């Protein structure tokens, strides 16, 4: 009898250790469980990192107002409508962006902000002009931008 109890205890202990790194779905508060209910069946089998990402998302969701949630739903629907190849490309570019220095990321955000402030026709002109460039012209442009960045960075220091 003691052996069976000891084995049962060991199995329970091992099961607890298997999920020690993760969070049991039942331990989430009611609001988190409601937001994450679609993941309930596979929650305990999920890697800890994925659980943490989903929990951070649930926390952000809880802090959003109705308009922000509608915007998030729309962006997610747009994301889902992309092809797998396009999503992979976006993930790859985002990883590159994340690896940049804070200065370079700020410069990209600033440039994008200036681009967005242009009127629609001017933005399209720039897109068309870049699209029509030869690979060599595109390379020269990228090189010129890199040189400009270096001289700007040197002046800032």
Q: What is the DSSP string of 91-102?
A: HHHHHHHHHS-H
Stronger pLDDT, 31 or 90, i.e. the higher one = 90
Distance between CA 132 and CA 124 in Å, rounded?
A: 12
Q: In whole numbers, what is the pLDDT of the chain averaged over residues?
A: 85
Residue with tokens 């993760």: 22
The whole-number pLDDT of residue 116 equals 94
The whole-number pLDDT of residue 147 equals 83
Q: For residue 139, tell me if it sits in a domain.
A: yes
Q: Say yes or no: 130 and 155 in one domain.
A: yes
Give me the number of domains the chain comprises.
Answer: 2
Q: Say yes or no: 144 and 155 in one domain.
A: yes
Distance between CA 129 and CA 138 in Å, rounded?
A: 10
The whole-number pLDDT of residue 153 equals 65
| Confidence label for 9 from pLDDT (cuts 50, 70 and 90) | very low
Distance between CA 150 and CA 155 in Å, rounded?
A: 9
Q: Say yes or no: 108 and 132 in one domain.
A: no
Name the residue range of residue 146's domain. 120-157
Q: For residue 68, tell me if it sits in a domain.
A: no
Q: For residue 43, tell me if it sits in a domain.
A: no
23 burial level (CB within 10 Å; 0-12, 13-18, 19+): middle
The whole-number pLDDT of residue 154 equals 67
Q: Say yes or no: 125 and 146 in one domain.
A: yes
> Once rounded to an integer, what is the mean pLDDT over residues 120-141?
95
Q: For residue 27, tell me if it sits in a domain.
A: no
Q: For residue 147, tell me if it sits in a domain.
A: yes
């Amino acid at each position: 009898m003691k052996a069976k109890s000891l084995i049962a205890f060991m199995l329970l202990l091992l099961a607890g250790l298997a999920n020690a790194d993760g969070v049991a779905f039942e331990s989430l508060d009611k609001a988190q469980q409601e937001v994450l209910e679609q993941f309930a069946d596979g929650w305990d089998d999920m890697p800890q990192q994925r659980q943490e990402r989903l929990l951070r998302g649930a926390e952000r969701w809880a802090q959003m107002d109705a308009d922000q949630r509608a915007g998030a739903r729309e962006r997610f629907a747009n994301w889902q409508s992309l092809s797998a190849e396009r999503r992979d490309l976006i993930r790859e570019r985002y990883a590159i962006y994340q690896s940049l220095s804070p200065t370079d990321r700020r410069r990209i955000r600033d440039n994008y902000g200036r681009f967005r402030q242009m009127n629609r026709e001017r933005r399209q002109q720039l897109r068309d002009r870049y699209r029509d460039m030869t690979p060599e012209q595109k390379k020269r442009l990228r090189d010129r931008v890199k040189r400009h960045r270096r001289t700007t960075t040197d002046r800032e220091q």
